Amino acid sequence: MSVQPIDRYVERIAPDVQTAVMENSITATQKRHDALFGDYEDPDKIRRIAGAIKQHTVEHLDRYLPQAEEKLKANGVKVHWASDGEEANRIVFEIMRSKKATKVVKSKSMVSEETELGHYLEERGMECVETDLGEYIVQIDNDHPSHIVKPIIHKNRQDVARSFEREGLGEYNDDPEVITHRARKHLRGKYMEADVGITGANFVSAESGRMLLITNEGNSRFCLAPTKVHIAMVGIEKLVPKDRDLSVMLNLLARSATGQRLTVYTEFISGPKSAAQPDGPEEMHLIFLDNRRTQVLESDCREILRCIRCGACMNVCPVYRQASGFAYRSVYPGPLGAVLSPLLASKFADYADLPKASSLCGACNEVCPVDIPIPDLLLRLRDKAKVEGIKSPGTPPMGMWATMASKPVLWKTALSAGKMMDFFPKSMIPVPAFQAWYKKKDLPEWHGKRFRSWMANRPNPKKNDQPEASEK
């Protein structure tokens, strides 16, 4: 039976992983809701402001990118540009070679996941250590993150304890506190002996050239305390026009991602360390990375470039909750990934199934801190696949349905035959899509009424003197 790639993944997912993803996502969605609605009367108003700021930024990148570059340079930052991941990785490698550096500590960054920087450096003899706890575990397991905020949402404490035991970080112990403190101890050694700290950036202010790093663990601080060189890799869409805009973004980002008012550490970095400071990088580089973002800008889905990577859309998504992150087969999972991955991919067709993996319920748009109309973008991408004649294996054939639904006589006949469904063994229906659906659900008994006749004969609520009947 032919099924779509995302469904094929869901069939193989372990039940405990699915439960973990589901529970964690529900909790995160609830925390987000409590944090936003607890503090603001109308959070939607703030989301709309944030969306407007980012949409304006995206549509004025030709102004803000040169402006940011000028400010960064004036602040003593060396600015580089990379059209693709290969070039960005090469720049990092060249900087390291010129400094005779061999050891890197890396703070979590989604763009460097895109460029697979860690592997690139390791293949060339450099040591590159991920320092975010989740990302470190992903690295020692030679795995991939499955959520942009909670990278190991797919692993439980026993998995992690076994990995730590295997890596020689102590005897088996699955207490999360013990695991965390072992990582703390082990990674301090790595920070202290590293030459270079690599980070991403959550925002760059075009007005001041400040870049922002936002973490809870403090690993980005540690990447920039004992090291001598700081390299930041930043997507070209990460700008905001002014410092004041950060007040909107910071308040929304933390609440949307983890339900915090502010993330523990918000770092504003605008250059190498100050003269009197004994610790920290004496040299700072910032690489602006395109990696097909200009292609997204050119498409009719440029709204997705507003994204500030909070993860709220995946937490709330009924498809993500069932399928988990790996089903999206790329760096960005969930509704965000369903839009961004096909657009960032070298071949759109490879990910053309993802925009179809949505019920278009609209929850992702409702929680998005920058109000991205994700369901609309998914529809545009479905249309793009249709226009480009991309076949996606496993998509149920709709030809018969289309014929039936467009011919009233056929439609009525089919409906009057509906009662037969109660007697027909449903496991015999030769439609793969129906069978996939039927595995988890059942059909109710046929009621036999036609909607139109029910509609015409229904009791009129206006004549009814029961006020609660009209209330929701």
Partner 1 sequence: MSTHRDVILGKVKKTLEALPKRAEYPDYDTEAVITIPEDADLWEHFKTAMQAVNGKVYDTLVELKKWMIENEYLSGYCDPDLLDVFSRELSPEIKLETTYDRDRIDTYQFGITRASGAIAESGTIILKDKDTSSRLGSLTPWVHITALRPDEVYRDIPTALDQLGDDPNIIWVTGPSKTADIEGILIEGVHGPGEQICLRLDS
For residue 398, the minimal CB distance to partner 1 (Å) is 35
Q: 3 vs 337, 436, 443, CA distance in Å?
A: 20, 8, 21
Q: Which is nearer to partner 1, 4 or 299 (CB)?
A: 299
- Scan for tokens 């076994």, then name that residue: 162
Q: Which residue has the tokens 């809870």?
A: 216
CB-CB contact of 309 with 148 (8 Å) = yes
Please, what is the minimum distance in Å from the beta carbon of residue 200 to partner 1? 17
Token look-up 């809701």 returns: 33
* Alpha carbon distance 63, 57 (integer Å): 9
Between 258 and 330, CB nearer to partner 1: 258
Nearer to partner 1, 55 or 392 (CB): 55
Decide whether 173 or 435 has the Cβ nearer to partner 1.
Answer: 173
CB closer to partner 1 out of 234 and 357: 234
Angle at 88 between CA 337 and CA 199, to 5 degrees: 70
Q: Is 110 in a helix, a strand, or coil? A: helix
**CA separation for the pair 325, 265 (Å, rounded):** 26
Please answer whether residues 270 and 70 qualify as being in contact, where contact means their C-beta atoms are separated by less than 8 angstroms: no
Nearer to partner 1, 33 or 356 (CB): 33
284 versus 354: smaller Cβ distance to partner 1: 284
Measured CA to CA, the distance from residue 281 to residue 88 in angstroms comes to: 20
- CA distances (Å), origin 124, targets 79, 91, 370: 23, 13, 39
**Cβ 307 vs Cβ 59: under 8 Å:** no
Distant-in-sequence, close-in-space partners of 119: CB < 8 Å, separation ≥ 6? none
Q: Which residue has the tokens 């890799």?
A: 233
- Cβ 265 to partner 1, closest distance in Å? 6
**Token representation of residue 173:** 């112990």
User: In angstroms, what is the minimal distance from the CB of 114 to partner 1?
Assistant: 15
Cβ distance to partner 1 smaller for residue 242 or 449: 242
Would the CA dihedral through 83, 386, 331, 102 be positive or negative? Answer: negative
Maximum alpha-carbon separation in the chain: 85
Q: How far is the CB of 395 from partner 1 (least distance, A)?
A: 31
In the complex, what is the shortest distance from the CB of residue 413 to partner 1, in angstroms, rounded to a whole number?
A: 48
Task: For the CB of residue 62, give the shortest distance to partner 1 in the complex, in Å.
Answer: 5
Judged by beta carbon, residue 227 or residue 358, the one nearer partner 1 is 227
**Which residue lies nearer to partner 1 by CB, 180 or 413?**
180
Angle between helix 245-258 and 43-58 (nearest 10): 120
CA-wise closest residue to 342 among 396, 389, 295, 303: 295
Q: What are residue 128's DSSP bridge partners?
A: 104
CB of 214 to partner 1, least distance (A): 9
Minimum Å distance from CB 307 to partner 1? 16
* Nearest distance from C-beta of residue 340 to partner 1, angstroms: 17
